[in-house]
Amino acid sequence: MKAHERFLHYVSFDTTSDESNPACPSTPGQLTLANALAEELLNLGLSDARVDEHGYVYASLPANCETDTPTLGFIAHMDTSPDACGHDIHPRIVENYDGGDIVLNEEQHVVMSPNKYTHLRDYIGQDLIVTDGTTLLGADDKAGVAEIMTLVEEIQRDNLPHGKLCFAFTPDEEIGRGADLFDVPGFGAQFAYTVDGGKLGELEYENFNAASAVVTVHGLNIHPGEAKNKMKNALLIAIEFQNMLPAWEIPACTEGYEGFQHLNRMNGDEETATLHYIIRDHDRAKFEAKKERFRRIAAYLNEKHGDGTIELELADSYYNMREKVEPYLFLIENAKRAMLDVGVTPLVQPIRGGTDGSRLSYMGLPCPNLSTGGHNGHGRFEYIPVQSMDAMVRVLRRLACPTAENA
């Protein structure tokens, strides 16, 4: 079975993760897919395939030849982002894309245009899997799941020589919990790759340092007709807090290694208002400085408006994996060589986000990230070329079976 055929099946499972549910997995559809994947691995001959009590899927292939290569793992996540609808997905394949607008949903006038998404022009003549304009697609990261599963099938089918290989599929990556309960010793790999990137050829071993910030403003409400010198409007103080942050340090104004703070949710009234932020920077010193700015603003506004007006909760989420991967740069060189061997141009660049690999690297499993070939994740304009998925399977074959002819 081709990777894209598997992918079209996997997206039929609703695996949207849910930050409000502390359970793992956070939604039942993830466990349904996990059980289906474990059964598929068993049918492919991986006799130790299993789903643990938290919905993580693990399996391995013992070495079938003499080798001194380290035990290598491949990891992808099963959940999809809650940023867009992830159920009742109706994908279709735009064959031999002609470079023009793609009407995703005629009834709702949803059109994906290369004038906005210029990378579409890189895929003229290829076959693009797209949404119907009402949901995300799920290439992040069911494409990675499908590519790894196809790798397993091809290794078994073609009897490719390899060292010990380990495979895992994780829940709840999209809400930052994918590595929380990952069994690194039980997984059994010395090194691993997450297959969770974007454009074909992306290879990443640097990611943001990340934190969350919750700013709660405690005000005092009173009838507006009697409010002079009495009302303390929490909404206005919340706006004041936001306006003291640098306006240019937001996602819409940054790229590359530039960090940001991002206001991603707000609610409230005159009595209580809450601002939810994520804080990101590749540089650890700049990351710490951004958090300190939040503390200084909170202290200033408490001094201005009275103690207890601003309540600040800061929590680190994950750190830049670079310092954990750099001692093992052969992982990067091997991935670059594998890509070049099968005609894929490596694009070594920082992740403007995080993956399971960033957490796993700090848990003792150095774990850079590989592309899947997808674009526009987390939204209705998500798409992935069939040819990119096929190319990524060839890359994974070369990485997993470097001594095999025509791997």
Choose among 393, 4, 361, 10: nearest CA to 189.
Answer: 361
Choose among 313, 299, 309: nearest CA to 217.
Answer: 309
Q: Which residues contact 348 (CB under 8 A, 6 or more apart)?
A: 203, 204, 205, 332, 336
Helix (H, G, I), strand (E, B) or coil at 34: helix
* 132, 172, 173, 382: the active-site residue: 173
106, 200 contact by CB (below 8 A): no
Work out the angle between the directed axes of helices 330-341 and 386-400 (0-180°, nearest 10): 130
Element (H, E) at 54: none
* 14, 79, 132, 202: the active-site residue: 79
> CA-to-CA distance for 104 and 269, rounded, in angstroms?
39
* Degrees, nearest 5: CA angle 101-379-204: 100
58, 35 contact by CB (below 8 A): no
Is 79 considered catalytic here? yes
Q: Residue 80 pairs with which residues in a beta bridge?
A: 16
Alpha helices in 212-326 (DSSP H): 234-243, 284-305, 322-325
24, 86 contact by CB (below 8 A): no
Sign, Cα dihedral of 399, 401, 402, 407: negative
Q: Residue 192 pairs with which residues in a beta bridge?
A: 73
| Beta strands in 62-187, from DSSP E residues, in sequence order | 72-77, 92-94, 102-105, 110-112, 128-130, 165-170
Alpha helices in 107-256 (DSSP H): 139-158, 184-187, 234-243
What positions carry a catalytic annotation?
79, 173
